[in-house]
Amino acid sequence: MIPGFVDSHNHLVFAGDRSAEFAARVAGEPYSAGGIATTVAATREASEEELEANLVRLLGEAERSGTTTFEIKTGYGLTLDDELRALRIINRHTEESTLMAAHVVPPEYLDNPDGYVDLVIEEIIPAAAGQAKWIDVFCEEGAFTVEQAERIITAGKGHGLRPRLHANQLTAGGALQLAARTGCVSADHATFASDEDLAALAAAGTVVTLLPGVEFSTRQPYPDARRYFAAGATVAIASDCNPGSCFTNSIPFCIAVAVRDMRFTVDQAVWAATAGGARALDRADIGRLTVGARADFSILDAPSYRHLAYRPGVQLIAKVYRAGEQIAANQPAS
């Protein structure tokens, strides 16, 4: 038995298929933030029923892989109505809802990115207050600058949204320092992190959420988790399930990649995917098996939790429970 996995970074409300883009990356083309616009167009055209059906399908897959808690972001609508529609869908399936209207600048604002930042601050954030728990920004080349991201985070906090940040995924910019300075609960990606960045995050108590599946899918360099632990940072693992840079929702797969390629020990990886994920959501009731916690757990068809890394790609989750109730099972073939 192990605690239920806590997947603290997901983009699950979307439409469209970007498998051709993935195939191109496998053939050697580099990843960039620009492909998000393809999903934005398909998501805007999809009905609410279609979007929710896709979300439910992906959540079911993740539950069968042992995940019991999900954080889900908007970010593929990028209009007031489409972002609020995504929040309506998300809130029917999790309490960990994130407004990420600042994912990229939408096509209609490419010549006026600051105008889109103004729209997010003046219209979308106030409308989302009370509907979203978190505010997030993709602070990166091709998305939003440090200055733009800080404006958006500050506005979100002013409306009661708690901050997290997509930081230093593609470049070694100033996003991790911004996450520490603005009190972000989690800085996600953090692929490129200097010693100074890690020291700042550790001092601020900002959880570093590493995303092994993203580096696997994009061919980005794998960060060495030993540096993050040595700096005193709290480290989580999440899937970042999304149609472009990482279309997996399997935390066991992410654990295996973290151990093999990010230099986690198995114990560190399992902790990061359970208790670490809970820390990234500032939750004390999940991610652990102890008195006072919610009874979220999985029963493994394996002699040890170490088999999660030892047998990558093999379904070892036998049964999954949330609050003591079975929510999923994988029965062996008869």
The number of domains in the chain is 1
> Average of pLDDT values for 9-21?
91
Judged by average pLDDT, the poorest of 10-24, 280-294, 310-324 is 10-24
Structure token digits, residue 285: 């009731």
User: Rounded to the nearest 5 degrees, what angle is found at the Cα of 32, between the Cα atoms of 28 and 34?
Assistant: 130
Task: Kindly indicate the confidence band of residue 332, based on its pLDDT and cuts at 50, 70 and 90.
Answer: low
Share of the chain above pLDDT 90, in %: 92
SS3 content of the chain, % helix, strand, coil (to 5): 40, 20, 40
Structural domain of 172 = 2-294
Q: Tell me whether residue 327 is in a domain.
A: no
Give me the residue label for tokens 């620009």: 34
Give the Cα separation of 239 and 280 in Å (integer). Answer: 13
Please work out, in degrees rounded to the nearest 5, the angle formed at the alpha carbon of residue 139 by the alpha carbons of 241 and 284.
55
Give CA separation, 171 vs 33, 41, 152, 329, in Å: 12, 26, 20, 40
- 245 with 29: CB under 8 angstroms? no
Q: Predicted confidence band at 128 (pLDDT cuts at 50, 70, 90)?
A: very high
Burial level of 92, CB count in 10 A (0-12/13-18/19+)?
exposed
What is the predicted pLDDT for the residue at 36? 85
* pLDDT recorded at residue 34: 60
Kindly indicate the confidence band of residue 85, based on its pLDDT and cuts at 50, 70 and 90.
very high
CA distance 56 to 62: 10
Query: Residues 143-154: what's their mean pLDDT?
Result: 98
Per the rule left: phi > 0, alpha: psi between -120 and 50, beta: everything else, 219 is: left
Q: Nearest CA to 210 among 223, 196, 200?
A: 223
Q: Is 208:235 a contact under the CB 8 Å cutoff?
A: yes
**Whole-number Å distance between alpha carbons of 12 and 166:** 16
pLDDT at 99: 98
Average pLDDT over residues 4-17: 95
Q: What is the pLDDT of residues 20-67, one digit of tens each?
A: 888 777 677 776 656 788 899 999 999 999 999 999 999 999 999 999
Q: Kindly state whether residue 228 falls inside one of the protein's structural domains.
A: yes
Q: How far is CA 282 from the centre of its chain?
A: 14
| Residue 93 covered by a domain | yes
Residue 316 domain-assigned (yes or no): no
Q: What is the pLDDT of residue 19?
A: 87
Say if residues 62 and 250 touch (Cβ distance below 8 Å).
yes
Residue 274's SS3 state is coil
Mean pLDDT of 297-307: 97
Task: Give a yes or no: residue 39 inside a domain.
Answer: yes
Residue 333 has pLDDT above 60, yes or no: no
Tell me the pLDDT of the chain averaged across its residues.
Answer: 95
Residue 307 within any structural domain of the chain: no
- CATH number of the domain residue 147 falls in: 3.20.20.140
Cβ proximity of 68 and 5 under 8 Å:
yes
For the cut 90, the answer to whether the pLDDT of residue 233 exceeds it is yes
Residues 6+ apart with CB under 8 A from 325: none
Whether 223 is covered by a domain: the verdict is: yes
The label of the residue with tokens 């053939």 reads: 27
Average pLDDT over residues 237-249: 95
Work out the average pLDDT over 100-107: 97
Arithmetic mean of pLDDT, 250-268: 98
CA angle (91, 179, 173) in 5-degree steps: 120
pLDDT at 33: 58
Among 12-26, 260-274, 276-290, 305-319, the least confident range: 12-26
> What is the average per-residue pLDDT within 288-296?
96
Q: Is residue 63 part of a domain?
A: yes
